[in-house]
């Protein structure tokens, strides 16, 4: 066999390219500690071509997934080595599709409601509303979305789908999702705060739009979907959910028995502030009715020094959908925002642990061609505790000491 003689200049060039390729691989394969944004980004990139949005200096980043239903999986305020704020369910990846729900996680994911009730999107017409018959629509559970465009700070995605609700109404619709990472001055402007140099932050806003792309109008008789934004975060022993509410309104402050009544030592409310323990150790969900809801909620993890804030559209005078698993109740008597703390089921199994902050739109009563948009934003802050306290008092109306001292061990 005759050996080929390679010119020295060509050989040198090949060696340079080889070295560059090796260096890139070494960078791509850098091992990050679990719990960091870099760790989660590497994991997610093994399953999808993740879209990363960054602020101007690259400290704030988020991981957005077209394959996994346009989820913002997680974010960081301090680059690849910084804390990963979203909850990623590693064990859900690489498995056969679950017929009920594929819980991949995500610190901001988009669903449609109602889950239960006479206009449910999760049960077939005539089926009893029990777990065996509960199925999440594929377009918000397992099917990929289309990435329309991305410029490094903003991305647009969409998905078309056809559904039939429990009442037998056919719904042809298009969902569009625009995600944008915010700069520091944008955060200050939106929340009306001043960020000290000792505070690291990341924030993003999502614009979620539904269009009636069918030929029938969505009414109170046919049923209409609502837009549902759910934020999944990792709990800790000292994490507490904070929900300001309108104290002067009449009626109950919160619905606290979605999954059985929440224990009294895990929830408290007074002076217009509801506090709910979010340690991932006791399953419970609550909701705030439209007459009581404000457009902001949050959480504080005293043991991790992380303050989280969510801000969303509300309509205090609108009807919201009742999502309970029964067709026998008034479908338009639901809550306008929700919070959830995960915990073990009766058999000891557990999906998480995680906790959630959720917002919903009113039912989208749309004529063919009409659209409705629901805005939902997420903010994370970490760093100097005094500065974090100023943000909490200004935005949530409560001090960090009050939040941290609400529940005794």
pLDDT digits (tens, 9 = 90+) for 148-180: 999 999 999 999 999 999 999 999 999 999 999
**Exposed, middle or buried by CB within 10 Å (0-12, 13-18, 19+), for 157?**
buried
Question: What would the pLDDT profile of 356-394 be if each residue is shown by its tens digit?
Answer: 999 999 999 999 999 999 999 999 999 999 999 999 999
Answer yes or no: is pLDDT of 16 > 50.
no
387 or 3, higher pLDDT: 387
Question: What would the pLDDT profile of 330-345 be if each residue is shown by its tens digit?
Answer: 999 999 999 999 999 8
For the ranges 28-32, 256-260, 386-390, 396-400, which has the lowest average pLDDT? 28-32
Answer yes or no: is pLDDT of 2 > 80.
no
Answer yes or no: is pLDDT of 20 > 70.
no
Asked whether the beta carbons of 265 and 337 are under 8 A apart, the reply is no
Mean predicted confidence (pLDDT) in 178-197: 95
Q: What does pLDDT average to over the chain? A: 93
Answer yes or no: is pLDDT of 11 > 70.
no
Answer yes or no: is pLDDT of 314 > 60.
yes
pLDDT, position 287: 97
pLDDT, position 29: 61
Mean predicted confidence (pLDDT) in 273-290: 97
pLDDT, position 18: 42
Residue 125, CA distances (Å) to 62, 113, 325 in order: 39, 16, 13
């Amino acid at each position: 066999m005759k050996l080929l003689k390679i010119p020295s200049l060509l050989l040198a060039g090949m060696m340079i390219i080889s070295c560059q390729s090796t260096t890139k691989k070494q960078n791509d394969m850098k091992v990050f500690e679990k719990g960091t944004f870099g760790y989660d980004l590497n994991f997610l990139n093994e399953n999808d071509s993740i879209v990363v949005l960054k602020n101007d200096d690259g400290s704030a980043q988020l991981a957005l997934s077209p394959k996994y239903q346009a989820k913002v999986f997680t974010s960081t305020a301090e680059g690849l080595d910084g804390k990963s704020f979203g909850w990623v369910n590693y064990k859900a990846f690489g498995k056969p599709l679950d017929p009920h729900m594929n819980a991949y996680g995500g610190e901001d994911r988009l669903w449609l409601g109602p889950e239960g009730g006479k206009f449910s999107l999760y049960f077939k017409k005539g089926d009893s509303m029990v777990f065996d018959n509960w199925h999440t629509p594929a377009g918000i559970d397992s099917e990929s979305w289309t990435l329309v465009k991305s410029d490094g700070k903003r991305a647009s995605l969409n998905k078309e789908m056809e559904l039939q609700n429990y009442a037998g109404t056919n719904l042809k619709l298009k969902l569009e999702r625009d995600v944008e990472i915010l700069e520091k001055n944008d955060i200050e402007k939106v929340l009306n705060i001043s960020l000290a140099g000792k505070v690291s932050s990341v924030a993003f806003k999502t614009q979620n739009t539904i269009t009636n792309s069918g030929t029938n109008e969505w009414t109170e008789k046919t049923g209409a979907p609502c837009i549902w934004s759910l934020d999944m975060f990792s709990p800790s022993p000292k994490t507490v959910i904070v929900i300001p509410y309108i104290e002067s309104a009449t009626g109950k402050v919160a619905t606290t028995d979605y999954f059985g009544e929440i224990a009294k030592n895990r929830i408290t409310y007074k002076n217009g502030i509801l506090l709910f323990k979010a340690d991932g150790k006791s399953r419970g969900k609550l909701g705030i009715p439209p007459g009581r809801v404000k457009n902001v909620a949050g959480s504080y993890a005293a043991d991790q020094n992380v303050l989280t804030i969510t801000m969303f559209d509300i309509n205090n005078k609108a009807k919201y959908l009742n999502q309970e698993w029964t067709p026998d109740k008034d479908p338009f008597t639901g809550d306008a925002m929700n919070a959830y703390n995960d915990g073990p089921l009766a058999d000891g199994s557990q999906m998480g642990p995680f906790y959630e902050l959720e917002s919903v739109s009113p039912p989208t009563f749309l004529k063919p061609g009409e659209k409705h948009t629901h805005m939902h934003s997420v903010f994370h802050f970490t760093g100097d505790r005094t500065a974090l306290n100023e943000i909490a008092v200004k935005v949530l109306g409560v001090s960090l000491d009050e939040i941290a001292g609400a529940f005794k061990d």
